[in-house]
Amino acid sequence: MKWLLAVGISFLVASSSASAEAQQRVQVEFWHGLGQPLGGILEKVVADFNASQPRYQVNATFKGQYPETMMGAIAAFRAGNAPHIVQMFEVGTATMMAARTAIKPVSELARETGVSIDPKNYVGGVRGYYSTTDGRRVPMPFNSSTPVTWYNKDAFKKAGLDPEKPPRTWEETWAAARKIVATKAVFHGSSGMRARVVREAKFNWGVTFLPYYKGTKNAPKNSIIGGASFWVMTGPKRTAEEYKAVAEFFSYLSRPEVDAKWHMDTGYVPITLNGIALASGQGYYIKNPGADIPFRQLTLTEPTENSMGLRLGNMPEIRVIIQEEMEKAFQGQQTAKQALDNAVKRGNVVLRNFERTNRP
C-alpha cells in the first residue's frame, strides 16, 4: 500500500512539473474558420511563430466555417471563456465593431503593450475598411481577398475562344458562356481559391479581372475586400502578458516575409507594402502570371463612395436574404428586379433591428 502511495505521489509530481514546463510559455487561444488547405497553411504560420521565440505559444483551432466560428466565439464570450484571438469574416465586421467592450481594438493593443504594428505599412484600402471613421484600427487584417474570375483555358480552346483573351465585360462573358456548352468553365470566386485551383485543377486554368458592364462610366473601378481579419477578444481573466503575446503575434504577421509567403501560398492579397515589394522582388509575379490580378484589381482606382467596401450591421443575415431572393428568381418565382426590391426591403428591416439592439 505504501509503495502504491509513493508511485502515485511521484507520478503527480512528475506530471505537474511537466505541465509547469509547458506553462512557462504564455498561452494564447486562437480560433479560425479556414478549412483545408488554407487552414493548414495558416496553422503552419502559427507554428512558425511559436518556433521563432520561446516566450509565447499560440494555439490555433479550427472551429468550423466562419458563421460557426463567429457563433462559437460569441457564446464563449457570454460564458466568460472567449478565445484571445478569433478570425471573423468581413461580413461580421460591423457586428464585431459594435461589440464595444467585448473586443480590444488593435490601436489600443499596440499602445498598451508598446509593440509596434505600423499602420502605414498596410495597403490603403485594407487599412480603411478595418478602421473606424475616426481612424482607429480595430481588427488585425490578415487574409484579405477579392472576387476574381477563374476560367478553364482548355474549355475555352475547345469552344474556339482565345484562352489568352478572357472576357472583360459581362456582355462578353454571356457570349462566351453560350459558346461553351459544358458549363463550369468559368466561375467567379474568391482569390483565396488559388491554393485549391493550383493543387486540384486538372486542366489549364487562367485568372482575370471581374467583368464589368460595357458602357459603365469610368469602369472598371476597384473591387472591394473580402476575406477575414483577426479580432482580439477581452475576457475576465486576461493578463497583460497575454495581450503582449497577442501583440507580438500580430507584429510577426505583419513582417514582409510572412505576408508575402501567405500571399504566395494561398492567393490572398498581400496587405503590406513591404510584403508586396518582397514578392515582386523575388520574381513571383513573373513566374506566376495572373497572381497579381487580385491586388491590381483592388487598387485599380481610388475608391469612390460605392467602392469603399461593404460594412453593414447584421450583414450575415443580409447576405442570406440576398441569396434567398436570388434563389426565388432562379426558380422563376420572381423577376430580377423584384428580387432586388425584396432584398432591399428585407435588408432595411434587418438594418433597423441592428440599430435598435445597438442603441448606445
Instruction: By CB under 8 A, name the binding residues for another protein.
Output: 67-68, 71, 74, 77-78, 95, 98-102, 314, 316-317, 320, 323-325, 327-328, 330-331, 333, 350, 353, 356-359
Shortest distance in whole angstroms from residue 158 CB to another protein: 20
Buried b (16+ CB within 10 A) or exposed e, 138-147: bbbbbbbbbb
Residue with Cβ nearer another protein (80 or 160): 80
Take residue 220 and report the three cell numbers written for it.
472598371
Residue with Cβ nearer another protein (52 or 323): 323
Cα–Cα dist 347/202, whole Å: 40
Residue with Cβ nearer another protein (276 or 350): 350
Shortest distance in whole angstroms from residue 153 CB to another protein: 22
Shortest distance in whole angstroms from residue 255 CB to another protein: 32
Contact residues for 140 (Cβ-Cβ < 8 A; gap 6+) = 106, 117, 229, 230, 231, 232, 250, 253
Residue with Cβ nearer another protein (257 or 327): 327
Residue in 268, 263, 297, 126 with CA at minimum distance from that of residue 193: 268
Shortest distance in whole angstroms from residue 47 CB to another protein: 31
Give me the residue label for grid cell 432591399: 344
Shortest distance in whole angstroms from residue 124 CB to another protein: 30
Shortest distance in whole angstroms from residue 33 CB to another protein: 14
Give me the residue label for grid cell 483592388: 298
Say if CB 65 and CB 84 are below 8 A apart: no
**3-state SS, residue 289:** coil
Residue with Cβ nearer another protein (102 or 300): 102
Residue with Cβ nearer another protein (288 or 358): 358
Give me the residue label for grid cell 471613421: 133
Residue in 82, 77, 88 with CA at minimum distance from that of residue 34: 88
Shortest distance in whole angstroms from residue 329 CB to another protein: 9
**3-state SS, residue 135:** coil
Shortest distance in whole angstroms from residue 358 CB to another protein: 6
Residue with Cβ nearer another protein (77 or 205): 77
Cα–Cα dist 174/342, whole Å: 26
Angle, CA 121 vertex, CA 37 and CA 274 arms, to 5°: 65
How many CB atoms neighbour CB 294 within 10 A? 27
Take residue 25 and report the three cell numbers written for it.
510559455
Give me the residue label for grid cell 499602420: 119
Cα–Cα dist 300/125, whole Å: 11
Strand residue runs (E) in 102-162: 103-104, 140-145, 147-152
Residue with Cβ nearer another protein (306 or 357): 357
Residue with Cβ nearer another protein (233 or 253): 233
Cα–Cα dist 237/225, whole Å: 34
Shortest distance in whole angstroms from residue 331 CB to another protein: 6
Give me the residue label for grid cell 466560428: 69
Residue with Cβ nearer another protein (127 or 328): 328
